[in-house]
Structure 1
Amino acid sequence: MTGPTVLSAAPFRPQLAAVALIGSAMVAFGVFLSGFVIAEPAPYEVFMAALIGLWFLFGLRISRAVAPLLSLLILFMTGGILSLTVMSDLDEGPMYMAVSGFLALTSVFYAAIIEDRHERLKLIFDAWVMAGVLTSMLGILGYFGVIPGAANFTLYDRAKGAFQDPNVFGPFLVAPSLYLMYRLLTDRITTAPLKAIALLIMALGLFLSFSRAAWALYLFSACALVLVMLLKERTGAFRLKILVLALGGALLMIGALVVALQIPQVANLFSSRTQLVQEYDGGHLGRFDRHKIGFLMAMEKPLGIGPMVFSKIFPEDEHNIWLKSLTSYGWLGFASYVTLMIWTIVMGFRFLLLDRPWQPYLMIAWIVIIGHAGIGNVIDTDHWRHFFLLLGIVWGCGALEFRYRRRHRPTVFSALPIRR
């Protein structure tokens, strides 16, 4: 029975390989589309909805290692749906929750396809770099007004690329920038010029976003990357290479910043944005006042107040992901989100320095996730496409590690002594 079955399956192997290759290319294209979100629902949502449906139709499964991610996101969304019940006017609430639910599903999808084949990680990051460079070019050219329709790529005199908000555009560029930094530090020097140019383009785009959160995230992530690589690499020569290249890269970035600040338009806005506390932060009902009042109010609202309602009570949105979880997803959503973040960070830390093919991608995603947890104190991240991609990468790599350990776990029989 075994022989004929194997022979009959053999002719279909090239077709299956071709289908898998096309599927991986479509995933990469989906990641590429995540860099172009001017309106909701964006092309990213439409394409990914069809792609996810096709993948699960062809048998993509959720493993036990990914199931906790799915469970926590279901609880998070359950809290969000319950929050709709307390709204007097649903208005945009259902659409908001529909987008939240879809983005949560993409996170599970990315984790599942990464667990299925770790080689997709390189495709994902390469596509992310392409999207980052292109959307940065749009932001840069739009900022300086050298292309038709430049106003579509700026907001409040800040570059926003093909995004709705400069504060999303900037953080989107951090993970692909870190990926290029890693490649510069580890690949052959002959491949460096093209990577360096792409890195400088994204760095300039991020700088012109004038997002303080993005600046802080970029600085933290770059320093953390160098630190983790120094911990992982044991040879003195390689550590010296990392330090020399990191120092050279830092000096190059500083030089580029000095050149950019020679432009009055850039210098004036930079001077304004570098003030630690802006008027809308510390003023009456400013960001920090809203945080205090909002947290006190949330303690009396177990189901939350519903999405988009906070901005109708106060001058602006929550601008704090922890408060946003309470107001828009209730106590259940908040508990689920906090648990998810702690679980993700702890799991990533456990596997961070292991010598695996997927270790560099886990390292980058884990570092940027921690940075997002930090900037979440001053910004909402629950509708950031790339944030859910990062979650999927960390959980996918975690699932790969669990599968690797199961396959290499010594059996009882292999541990027994062999008698001769």
Structure 2
Amino acid sequence: MSALTHELPPQAVNAKLIGLLSSGAIILGILLSGFVIGEPAPYEVYMTGLIGMWALFGLRISRPIVPLLILLVSMNIGGMIAMTQMAELSWTPLYLAVSLFLAFTAVFFASVVEQKPDLYRLIFTAYVTAAVVTSTLGIAGYFKLFHAAEIFTKYERAAGAFQDPNVFGPFLALPGTYLLYRLLTGPVQRMPLVAVPLLIVVGGIFLSFSRGAWGLFGVAVILLTGILFLQSTSGRFRLRVVVMTIAALALLVLAMIVVLQIPGVSEMLTTRAKLAQDYDSARLGRFARYAIGFMLALERPFGIGALVFGTIYGEDTHNIWLKTLMDYGWLGFISYLGLTLWTLAAGFRLLLRNRPWQPYVLCAYVVYVGHVGLGSVIDTDHWRHFYLLLGLVWGGIALEYRYQRGLIALPGTTPANADRPRPASIAAPLPASGTRSRSLLSMVPAGQ
């Protein structure tokens, strides 16, 4: 370092140190997202300080990210209006404060990856690390591998360092999908290095016994392999995807046969694999509450206030669309619906474009699609990783916007608007003409 300081001016050294510190701060925040045993979790406390500090020293919300900010804020304004319909506020102000905080985390992550696309790699690496650690804890807790390991389970299901297995399982979907991407597209000699953490993460998803997590991961895997198959023009690569998919399915069947021999697993799997549980189809079960809630929304356009629905009917809405109607009113519902449609449409346009950040956006997008479907049977408005997904997808949307307008350039390409002054460059080459069949990860700098 001392030799480097003699060769570089102090400004360059300071810039390098600031870059390292900012990257480390982001990594720490992602690592903390995997540990939410109590609330407020360390993630909330840390990210509040980080966002505030970043806002003071360079956080910039660009034009393509403004719609994300407006729609999330308007949704929360709807929640504040709904709060006026309540006789007693109770915990509602705190609930809405958390909602607004999580909205800002989505905008924050979108903004930082737009300004520094290299953060995609660091974010995914940190996310995979957090997922492997919390999955290991969940697996150890389920099998009681050490003293007091059962604290990492709930309802006899793996929960890792989370309060709820139904959040723990979906949290693992993105790192599982990303690791599968690396397995399908990476070099053969590195497959074991990817397969081991992938098995740990998939084991955590399975032992969470969350039907939503199973379906979410299944949808993400199908979408991912389908897109990889369609975007490649190489018969060899397509054959690899088909062969590895068949091998993965065979391995899954074998693993299921082995796991079902473990006492307790078979009974839990039989119980959880039912499409509708007793609490779903009962007289005032989940499905009946959906009908009651949507009828109530027609009578109460401003909503009834956060957390009130559960006090009236004994259970929460367990449906993000009904949740927004009840807790955020029609303003919140329209804002959330608009955000969902915008994200799906704008993100879809990025899927087959060769960009250095495309692998990360692709993985985040297919998992986000799964979360949209999952929201029909569970509340996702306070899932921390859901807002990270939003930020990752919108960061890609913003980068594409800037690239199309010549505000950034990729090595070996000419900006669309050559007269723009000094466009930023992203250190990753685009594939040469006719090499679309290459793994998109080969476009990312070495070491990722």
Normalising by the smaller structure, the TM-score range is: over 0.9
Equivalent position to 2:416, from 386, 409, 415: 409
Shifted more, 55-64 versus 317-326: the winner is 55-64
- Tell me which amino acid in the other structure corresponds to 2:248: G
Q: Is the partner of 1:351 in helix, strand or coil?
A: coil
Q: What is aligned with 2:126?
A: 127
The runs of at least 4 consecutive aligned structure 1 residues that moved more than 4 Å come to 410-413
**Separation in structure 2 between the aligned mates of residue 398 and residue 269 of structure 1, nearest angstrom:** 41
Per-residue deviation, 1:10: 4.9
Structure 1 residue aligned with 2:318: 319
Aligned-residue offset at 1:56: 1.4
Q: Distance in 2 between matches of 1:297 and 1:147?
A: 49
Corresponding residue pairs, total: 405
Query: Where does the alignment leave 5 or more consecutive residues of structure 1 unmatched?
Result: 1-8, 414-420
Q: Secondary structure at the match of 2:21?
A: helix
Distance in 2, Cα, partners of 1:248 & 1:25: 38
1:243 aligns with 2:250: no
Matches within 5 A, 1:351-370: 351-370=350-369
- C-alpha distance in 1, partners of 2:319/2:204? 24
> What corresponds to 1:398 in structure 2?
397
Shift of 1:264: 2.2
Residue 410 (structure 1) shift: 4.3
Deviation at 1:234, TM superposition (A): 1.2
Taking the aligned partners of 1:131 and 1:342, their CA distance within structure 2 comes to 30
TM-score, normalised on structure 2? 0.88
Tell me, in whole angstroms, the C-alpha distance in 1 between the residues paired with 2:177 and 2:68. Answer: 25
* Cα offsets for 1:272-301 (capped at 9, x unmatched): 111111110101100000011011111111
Which residue in the other structure is 2:331 paired with?
A: 332
Q: Alignment RMSD, CA only?
A: 1.4
Q: CA deviation at 1:411?
A: 5.8
Q: Secondary structure at the match of 2:75?
A: helix
Q: 2:98 aligns to what?
A: 99
- Measured against aligned partners, the alpha-carbon deviations of 1:295-331 in whole angstroms (never above 9, x if no partner) come to 1111111221111111111121100000000111111
Once residues 386 and 178 of structure 2 are traced to their aligned partners in structure 1, the CA distance between those partners, rounded to angstroms, is: 16
Per-residue deviation, 1:205:
0.8
CA distance, structure 1, for counterparts of residue 13 and residue 245 of structure 2 = 44
Residue 409 of structure 1 aligns with an amino acid whose one-letter code is A
- Taking every aligned residue pair, what percent have the same amino acid on both sides? 51
Kindly indicate whether residue 179 of structure 2 is the aligned counterpart of residue 172 of structure 1: no
Aligned pairs for 1:16-415 within 5 A: 16-407=15-406, 408-410=415-417
After superposition, give the CA deviation of every residue in 1:228-249 in whole Å (9 maximum; x if it has no partner).
Answer: 1111111111111111122212
Instruction: Give the letter for the 1:263 counterpart.
Output: I
Structure 1 residues 33-64: Cα deviation after superposition (integer angstroms, max 9, x where no partner): 11111122100001111111111111120000
Aligned-residue offset at 1:149: 2.5
Q: Is the 8 A contact 1:41 1:99 kept in 2?
A: no
CA distance in 2, matches of 1:397, 1:259: 41
SS in 2 for 1:299: helix
Q: Is the 8 A contact 1:83 1:330 kept in 2?
A: yes
Structure 2 gaps, min length 5: 1-7, 407-414, 421-448
- CA drift at 1:253: 2.1
- In 1, Cα distance between equivalents of 2:168 and 2:274: 21
Residue in structure 2 matched with residue 5 of structure 1 by the alignment: none
Partner residue of 2:438?
none
- Residue pair 1:77, 1:329 contacting (<8 A) in 2 also: yes
* Aligned-partner Cα distance in 2 for 1:211–1:393: 25
> Which secondary structure does the structure 2 equivalent of 1:381 belong to?
coil
The separation in 1 between residues aligned to 2:149 and 2:84, in whole angstroms, is 42
Q: 1:141: Cα distance to partner? A: 0.8
Cα distance, 1:344 vs. partner? Answer: 0.3
Distance 1:378 1:60 in 2: 36
Shift of 1:412: 8.8
Q: Distance in 1 between matches of 2:419 and 2:173?
A: 46
Q: CA deviation at 1:156?
A: 1.0
Q: Normalised by the size of structure 1, how large is the TM-score? A: 0.94
Task: Give deviations 1:354-380, integer Å, cap 9, x for gaps.
Answer: 000011111111111111010111000
Q: How far apart in 2 are the matches of 1:126 and 1:354?
A: 23
* Higher helix content, 1 or 2: 1
Give 1:347's aligned amino acid: A
